Amino acid sequence: MGRGYIVEDIVEGYLTKLCEQQAGTVTGLLIGQSSAQRDFVITATRTPQRDESSEPTGKSLDKEWVTEHARQVSRMLPGGISVLGIFIITDNDAKDTLTTLRQLVFAMENLISSDHLWTPEDDDVTDCVTLHVNAKTRKTTCRTFDMKDPKSMAKPADWKYQSGICSSCTMVSCCVNVDLLVPLSDNRTSTENMDACLKGGLKAWAHQIKDGVCLIDGRKLPEETELSTGQKRSVRQYTAQLLIIPDEQRFTDVVQQCGGSVSVRGAIHSRTYLISNKPKAKLAEKLLKRDVVSTVATRVRMLLEELLTSEEDSKVRRDKLQTEQFCLPRRIFCPTKATGPVCVCDYQFSDEGLSEVLDRLKEMLDIDAAEEDLDTKQEMTAEVIENNFTEEPTAESVEAVEPKRNNYAGAAIATAVALLAAAASMLYLNDI
């Protein structure tokens, strides 16, 4: 037998409900946490239905739709929680869906990992799970594939339901001040270049986060220290601090031709969950740092995606030096459907209400939540304060070229700046 999966029993009820409501093939995601010994599945969510006008013809699954759903959901998960794999509910036999599940899980993993700004480590779990549920007999067939091996064959896995697997988990949280400056290419007409510059700058910052010193409850703990020691509460909570080592290159004389810059400043709230009974400080630090990087990168991507689709912004002409300010979304947490303290999250733009957050939680994660269920206190809504940013005179003036359609707000420079404590954030677009 291969890997073992301990599954929250609420997932069994959810899959049974989908079987009863089934009209054709149903797919969805399995969400939880991987560990060296076993994996924990804490919740599941079906793939949202697509508009009939955009659905593919025939009975084949829309692989692009399924994998994009997985990417969007992965953005809504805090540290330690990830998309573990895919389930399918169908009348067909398990062997008839094996090829489809294999294609889906590899495509999903490739898309999600393309957003990661960290390098995989040797102790990272690389198995993804697929679960086939026969809608008539309710028989489940669980298999895994090794994502690091493109030729990986399906391996059987053990699938067991259990209640309350999150009831005694550990949560480590921190607030991180962000001050990031990324130079952008002077090629104004290429959104690909802007994407590459932003990703490169964020990756460099991610290395600083990785090399930073993590203090847990004010102490630098040995890597093998068990966090459960000394706490009797069912939900163990720790507060961490990240001490970032400045990039030495920032203090040397570097001359670089560019068309602008991106500056991300402010504070964000980060957290990670550890479901195993004896979590180690090393794992908590790794997952917390990855969440810090992921939540910042996700907000920048979301805003740029928003600007790319904005007709009004893409048509604005800029003929002189100016600065544009945009607020990055704030992070809001919501409990999962499983019993226990584990939360998922969403990102709320300043012009959105909580009802829109609830709608996304329902659509993406199939969570029926009310406004009182949302934790909105961890981060404040950003505000644009004009006199907080002063333009410095430039030695040489460069005329701004009128942007072409689909450039980021027609600007050569994007700067994401969070001005308020408790994780308020905003983005400045600045032409030079």
89: domain CATH number is 3.40.140.10
Q: CA-to-CA distance for 132 and 78, rounded, in angstroms?
A: 27
What's the pLDDT at 187?
62
Q: CA-to-CA distance for 67 and 50, rounded, in angstroms?
A: 13
148-157: pLDDT as tens digits: 998 889 999 9
Asked whether residue 354 falls in the same domain as residue 263, the answer is yes
The total number of structural domains that make up the chain: 2
Contact 284, 79 (CB under 8 A): no
Mapped onto helix, strand or coil, the DSSP state of residue 280 is: strand
Mapped onto helix, strand or coil, the DSSP state of residue 330 is: strand
342-375: pLDDT as tens digits: 999 999 998 899 999 999 999 999 999 999 999 9
Q: CA-to-CA distance for 12 and 41, rounded, in angstroms?
A: 11
Asked whether residue 352 falls in the same domain as residue 219, the answer is yes
Domain termination site, one of 162, 188, 218? 162
269-284: pLDDT as tens digits: 999 999 987 889 999 9
Which parts of the chain sit beneath pLDDT 50?
57-58, 189, 251, 311-313, 316-321, 388-432
> In terms of Cα–Cα distance, which of 121, 147, 166, 74 is closest to 283?
121
Asked whether residue 297 falls in the same domain as residue 346, the answer is yes
The total of other beta-carbon atoms located within 10 Å of residue 37's CB is: 8
Asked whether residue 188 falls in the same domain as residue 322, the answer is yes
Q: CA-to-CA distance for 87 and 418, rounded, in angstroms?
A: 39
Asked whether residue 155 falls in the same domain as residue 217, the answer is no
Tokens for 329?
A: 């979304």
Please name the residues in contact with 214: beta carbons below 8 A apart, sequence gap of 6 or more. 220, 240, 241, 242, 243, 285, 288, 289
Q: CA-to-CA distance for 44 and 38, rounded, in angstroms?
A: 18
What's the pLDDT at 32?
96
What's the pLDDT at 253?
53
What's the pLDDT at 380?
86
Q: Which range of residues forms the domain containing residue 136?
A: 4-162
Q: CA-to-CA distance for 310 and 429, rounded, in angstroms?
A: 15
Domain termination site, one of 101, 136, 162? 162
Partnered with residue 215 across adjacent β-strands are 241
What's the pLDDT at 200?
87
Asked whether residue 96 falls in the same domain as residue 207, the answer is no
Asked whether residue 330 falls in the same domain as residue 411, the answer is yes
Contact 82, 33 (CB under 8 A): yes
Asked whether residue 200 falls in the same domain as residue 110, the answer is no
Asked whether residue 16 falls in the same domain as residue 63, the answer is yes
What's the pLDDT at 247?
62
Domain termination site, one of 121, 146, 162? 162
What's the pLDDT at 431?
40
Asked whether residue 97 falls in the same domain as residue 220, the answer is no
Contact 242, 79 (CB under 8 A): no
Q: CA-to-CA distance for 238 and 287, rounded, in angstroms?
A: 14
pTM, two decimals, is: 0.85
Task: Report the chain's C-alpha Rg in angstroms.
Answer: 23
Asked whether residue 79 falls in the same domain as residue 202, the answer is no
Asked whether residue 239 falls in the same domain as residue 315, the answer is yes
